[in-house]
Structure 1
């Protein structure tokens, strides 16, 4: 996995290759019971409160730590999500008003899908808080679990 967060640029770009069809990756992002299986660090429990992957649809999930403290995130879909791309806003309840835009693309070639997540912030300071808040650890844990999930789904499909 590659994470690029250039100094002074309000953007983070993440790329990761998966040996799975993009349709499986898309399902992992669009189906609540699959999102629950891969999103977030292992020590947090994820509850998918809402997931309506369509233009104007809302999504919301909450991560709970072992003490029961919740960390909720929410946003809207822009355009209809497809196996090629998802466009969504993203906001953390503990930082209201700090909204960022995610463009997630799934590019498949020869059985390998490259997932690219381009996250754009309104200000460099917002991006810096995102990076300092453990973004790297959460992304790496999530992408490893996503890899396991899509591999399992691919095996089941055979």
Structure 2
């Protein structure tokens, strides 16, 4: 599938300082939730194409955390090749298979928060729709300017790319 095809599947819009992204997957809700909640699955699709995700720590429960690093392994991505981008997710609420809420921050490889980078407060809702699953991600930022900073970093394009990878994983898991 082309990048444009993947991006057209992802619907995104801003509501003030909140970014909303919606995507429907051709898989049952329990399976999509499993792809978000199990380390071995997340590492197979999290991040844009050409990037490999490794979990430093994974504790999927309320008050648990996921420390991960993504490395660009695609030489065709030029200056990004070899780059490392790390984050830490602090899970707040988990209602299987309906919802995950969390705070996400940018960190270095050791897990130390990077100053001057935005915190993201997010909720993911998994809706069952005729053997398909609609995923709605609401990411809240402290200001419209911070949301714009994240948009300028390519979050929508990156999400479209990673969801194309999730499509492939879900097909394999069915």
2:173 aligned partner: 153
Q: Deviations over 1:33-70 (max 9, x none)?
A: 10011111122221111221111001111011245332
User: How many positions carry a matched residue from both structures?
Assistant: 152
Mapping for residues 74-89 of structure 1, pairs under 5 Å: 74-89=88-103
Q: Does 2:62 match 1:62?
A: no
Equivalent residue for 2:148, pick from 113, 125, 128: 128
* Cα distance between partner residues in 1 of 2:173 and 2:40: 13
Q: Does 2:11 match 1:2?
A: yes
Q: Does 2:131 match 1:107?
A: no
Decide whether the 8 Å contact of 1:45 with 1:65 is kept in 2.
yes
Question: Aligned-pair distance for 1:81?
Answer: 4.4
* Cα distance between partner residues in 2 of 1:64 and 1:80: 28
* Cα distance between partner residues in 1 of 2:67 and 2:172: 25
Please give the TM-score of this superposition, normalised by the length of structure 1: 0.89
RMSD of aligned Cα (Å): 1.6
* Cα distance between partner residues in 2 of 1:16 and 1:123: 24
Please give the TM-score of this superposition, normalised by the length of structure 2: 0.81
Q: Does 2:118 match 1:98?
A: yes
Question: Aligned-pair distance for 1:150?
Answer: 1.2
Decide whether the 8 Å contact of 1:53 with 1:81 is kept in 2.
no
Unaligned runs of 5+ residues in structure 1 are none
Q: Deviations over 1:78-135 (max 9, x none)?
A: 1234210000101112743621111001000220110000101111111111000011
1:11 aligned partner: 18
* Cα distance between partner residues in 2 of 1:86 and 1:121: 17
1:31 aligned partner: 38
* Cα distance between partner residues in 1 of 2:120 and 2:49: 24
CA 54–81 in structure 1, closer or farther in 2 if over 3 Å, else same: farther
Decide whether the 8 Å contact of 1:30 with 1:51 is kept in 2.
no
Deviates more, 1:37-46 or 1:84-93: 37-46
Mapping for residues 32-47 of structure 1, pairs under 5 Å: 32-47=39-54
Poorly superposed stretches of 4+, deviation over 6 Å: none
